[in-house]
Amino acid sequence: MIQTNQLKYTYSNTTKISFPDFNIGAGDEMLILGPSGCGKTTLLHLLGGLLPNQEGKIVINGQDITDLKGRKMDKFRGDNIGIIFQKPHFASALTVEENLAFAQKAAGNQVDKDRIKYLLKRLGILQHLGQSPKKMSEGEKQRLSVAMALINKPTLLLADEPTASLDDHHAESVIQLLRELSAEENTALIIVTHDSRLKTAFDGHVLNLKPLH
């Protein structure tokens, strides 16, 4: 489903990052673990085609994404990849439902209200359907981020420190929902974190990144 080969990224002469190769199948899950500054966000952004690939290969569903630029990468991402960023970002002038409908249209899909309601119900935030995301708590916003990332049925879900802004209780419930929904929809799930408490839950499916210096 996704394979990397000899992936490297250089920000400047002083910051060169080499990533270990990995290979995960459809519906698999993996935790990318490492200390602050080791390159976790960089790797996730490379996998999502948000940073131009400089060296090495990333193959997703048989497509080498190194070959995709601009609109072609945007289309590929819309069809295949969902991303959850460290901090949720939504259009606060739109309702929760409109945000999700916008995400469907932006990926070139028809608005599917049943899918919107299904995900919001599954994530326990259906009561916010007609409200602005501004009115939601941090935990609810992070669950809306999960809905936004899954709305177009991606085959790969990338999550960057999805629990960074949450307390332990909310963090655990977001991770559990992410894993449950990914498993139900056969979506491969890659979570980046510096939180080694998650390690045991992922049962060996962990990619450890080393400190740069």
Ligand X SMILES: Nc1ncnc2c1ncn2[C@@H]1O[C@H](COP(=O)(O)OP(=O)(O)OP(=O)(O)O)[C@@H](O)[C@H]1O
Identify the three-state secondary structure at position 190: strand
Least distance in Å: CB of 34 to ligand X? 6
Nearest to 157 by CA among 201, 177, 187: 187
Query: By C-beta, is 33 or 125 nearer to ligand X?
Result: 33
Residues that bind ligand X (CB under 6 A): 11-12, 15, 34, 36-42, 194, 212
Least distance in Å: CB of 47 to ligand X? 12
Query: By C-beta, is 50 or 212 nearer to ligand X?
Result: 212
Query: By C-beta, is 37 or 56 nearer to ligand X?
Result: 37
Identify the three-state secondary structure at position 62: coil
Query: By C-beta, is 37 or 78 nearer to ligand X?
Result: 37
Nearest to 104 by CA among 121, 117, 123, 88: 117
Nearest to 126 by CA among 112, 134, 110, 115: 115
Least distance in Å: CB of 15 to ligand X? 5
Least distance in Å: CB of 164 to ligand X? 9
Q: Within a 10 A sphere around the Cβ of 96, how many other Cβ atoms?
A: 26
